[in-house]
């Protein structure tokens, strides 16, 4: 039952525009804004506005490292010195992410032009996975 709630919650955002610095479902999300929305909905959002790197540092201390992905786990990409992207696990092979945009993706029109939105992708669509953390354990 709990898994269905998390999955349905996350899937409702597919197609929402990627907006740099975005943190709401109406105007769009960036990767960390989307992760924080998810975490807040389940009572696990750290205080303050967080970057992907800040979420990584927080959940290294307060989460649980996992070897494989599962629904609701956070996937951190970049390198150990600086995390550049965060996504949320859907299955052992798939993640949901606010992706495709950059720091110049500031409007919905920018997102449309860049094809930047919340989407589902295989974990291995990126080659810079640093760690998988369970924030809700």
| Tokens at 114, concatenated | 């860049």
| 8 A C-beta contact, residue 95 and residue 87 | yes
* Mean pLDDT, residues 19-34 taken together: 96
Beta bridge partners of residue 134, listed in sequence order: 64
Q: What is the pLDDT of residues 54-110, one digit of tens each?
A: 999 999 999 999 999 999 999 999 998 999 999 999 999 999 999 999 999 999 999
Whether 1 shows a pLDDT value over 70: the answer reads: no
Domain count across the chain = 1
DSSP E strand boundaries for 17-93: 23-24, 28-29, 64-66, 74-79, 82-89
When pLDDT is cut at 50, 70 and 90, the band that residue 122 belongs to is: very high
Question: Average model confidence (pLDDT) for the chain?
Answer: 95
Whether 31 shows a pLDDT value over 80: the answer reads: yes
What CATH code is carried by the domain that includes residue 18? 3.90.1720.10
Range of the domain at 101: 2-134
């Amino acid at each position: 039952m709990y898994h269905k709630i998390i999955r349905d919650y996350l899937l409702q955002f597919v197609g929402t525009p990627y907006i740099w610095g975005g943190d709401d479902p109406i105007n769009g999300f960036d990767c960390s804004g989307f992760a924080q929305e998810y975490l807040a909905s389940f009572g696990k959002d750290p205080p303050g506005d967080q970057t992907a790197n800040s979420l990584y540092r927080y959940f290294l201390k307060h989460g649980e490292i996992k070897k494989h992905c599962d629904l609701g786990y956070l996937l951190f990409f970049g390198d150990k010195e600086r995390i550049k992207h965060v996504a949320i696990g859907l299955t052992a092979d798939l993640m949901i992410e606010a992706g495709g945009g950059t720091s110049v993706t500031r409007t919905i029109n920018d997102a449309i032009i860049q094809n930047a939105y919340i989407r589902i992708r295989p974990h291995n669509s990126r080659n810079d996975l640093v760690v998988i953390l369970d924030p809700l354990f």
